Structure 1
Amino acid sequence: MRHLLPGSQKLNDPKILPVYVVSLEQDIKRRAILKEQFPLFYDQFIRIKAIDGRKLSADEYFNKILPFFKKYNRPMSPAELGATLSHIQALEDFLKTNAAFALILEDDVLGSDENIRAIQSMASFLPAQSVLLCGLQYNDSISKFRRGKKVKSLPLYKISTFSHPYVWGSYAYVVTRFSAQHILDKHRSTLVLSDKYDYFMDANMELYVTIQLQHPENRELSNIQGDRDKIQVPKKSFLQKI
């Protein structure tokens, strides 16, 4: 895994799909596992030095999460804030290149070189105003997206607007230049969770999913999920709401 400068010739080729990996400095073991899973692509991965939200000062933490708390009536945990800031850095770094698309990964993602190749082949078919999720979190299944529409000739599903609030996880996704800038603009309006897709996907945006990469099912291994489980308010089902 290496750090490529924005002016790198490789990233100035719009046909190249750069792969950014969000990883804390101390998570050496996770990166070693990544190298085992992706032996052909690992040296091309671009590491984003993740921000550890637990190390932010109290003032910085509260100032950054206050708009989110006012909007959603729940705090953003330190791990969630760190993830959001790290994903923002990945999007900003991508937009400094000439690449048309980028794949953003978290360092606990599960997959293979073949999965990366498949994602590369799909990226060029994405509309500019879209985000492609490259897997579903934990025990979700494609059956939850019955309201989604299968894309002809590609293993993609277009997720209906109705389903956006029930889609989460930012461990593997593809953005276009338009959607990356759109997400950054939405964060500048209100800094939210990195996987707040119902906030990002407004009327001008489309959300797609393909089952290529996975996330560990052991929730204890995820700093973000550990924090999220502690503060998450149980959601009512759609039927309960009506």
Structure 2
Amino acid sequence: MNRLPTSGAKLACYLINLERAPDRRALMADRFRAIGLDHDVVKAVDGKLLQFPAPEVSELAFKLLHGRRIIPAEVGCYLSHIECARQFLASDADYALIVEDDVTFASDFVEAIDLACAEGRHWDLLRLTTVNREGGIKFKSLSAMRSLAVALTRKKGSGAYIVNRRAATWMTESLLPMRLSYDIAYDLEYLSGLRACWVLPQPASQLNDMETQVQINIRAYKLPRYRYFTVLPYRAFLETTRVLFRGFQLGRSLLRP
């Protein structure tokens, strides 16, 4: 457990790591040590050991909404994030930092998240990384370098983010069974009345030379193109509602003193 100096918040840190990846675990331990944060290692669910069908997964919904079959490692990743939320809710922490084992931290990472937690009234889920182009509309300065922002478009990746207890409850109660890849599912917080913000520029990164352990040989899991008759309308719905709901959130944040 960590006590953040400015916000006074109690922060629990969870590192998702496969038991068979000790090198990554050791590397991330060094990175956490360098920024001065204690962390717990959450044993990742190993997709290679899962048996299907599984009650935690709706394979039919995944095919209809995603246009491909599920990759077992993807299921393991998804369930590992949910386990982090469960462990957080069993603690007395105010916030949980959830990190995958291929993330690097900026030198001011702790300062950035501390200042963001001091502004926790603006968000339930705080995004810290993406694997595509970062972006968003800034509405509140945190420091000379970083600001809080709202993204009106989808951002991929779930390398590092912070949740409060409300968001963690949503993760454990509403994100099961699995119907989408995790980075899509938790980017739909607005459909449940939750608020998501970004710290920009990002204080952490998932863009490095480490190989993915999740979306391996993804083309082998593709389904015929006619499947996109269900996928495309759903994606259009998500993109439209994201702009509307987060645009409203942004307006409220800009007007809030």
Partner of 2:205: 214
CA gap 1:74/1:199 in 2 versus in 1, 3 angstroms: farther
CA gap 1:119/1:67 in 2 versus in 1, 3 angstroms: same
Matches within 5 A, 1:151-230: 151-154=139-142, 155-160=147-152, 163=153, 166-188=154-176, 190-196=178-184, 197-202=186-191, 204-210=193-199, 211-218=202-209, 221-228=211-218
Q: Provide the C-alpha distance between the structure 2 equivalents of 1:42 and 1:31, rounded to a whole number of angstroms.
A: 16
Matches within 5 A, 1:26-175: 26-40=20-34, 44-60=38-54, 64-112=58-106, 114-127=108-121, 130-137=124-131, 140-142=132-134, 145=135, 148-154=136-142, 155-160=147-152, 163=153, 166-175=154-163
Please tell me whether the aligned partners of residues 57 and 179 of structure 2 are also in contact (alpha carbons under 8 angstroms): no
Identity of aligned residues (%): 25
Deviation, 1:64, is 4.8
Deviation, 1:218, is 3.5
Q: Provide the C-alpha distance between the structure 1 equivalents of 2:218 and 2:36, rounded to a whole number of angstroms.
A: 29
Q: Secondary structure, in 3 states, of the residue corresponding to 1:35?
A: helix
Q: Secondary structure, in 3 states, of the residue corresponding to 1:132?
A: strand
Please tell me whether the aligned partners of residues 58 and 177 of structure 2 are also in contact (alpha carbons under 8 angstroms): no
| Per-residue CA distance 1:143-183 (angstroms, 9 max, x = gap) | xx3xx3212222121122xx1xx212111001011111122
Structure 2, gaps ≥5 residues long: 240-257
Deviation, 1:204, is 1.4
RMSD: 3.2
Query: How many pairs are equivalent?
Result: 219
Q: TM-score, normalised by structure 1?
A: 0.76
Q: TM-score, normalised by structure 2?
A: 0.72
Deviation, 1:227, is 4.5
CA gap 1:149/1:43 in 2 versus in 1, 3 angstroms: closer
Q: Provide the C-alpha distance between the structure 1 equivalents of 2:120 and 2:41, rounded to a whole number of angstroms.
A: 24
Q: Provide the C-alpha distance between the structure 2 equivalents of 1:124 and 1:230, rounded to a whole number of angstroms.
A: 45
Structure 1, gaps ≥5 residues long: 1-9
Partner of 1:5: none
Deviation, 1:68, is 2.4
CA gap 1:33/1:52 in 2 versus in 1, 3 angstroms: same
Q: Provide the C-alpha distance between the structure 1 equivalents of 2:137 and 2:22, rounded to a whole number of angstroms.
A: 40
CA gap 1:62/1:32 in 2 versus in 1, 3 angstroms: closer
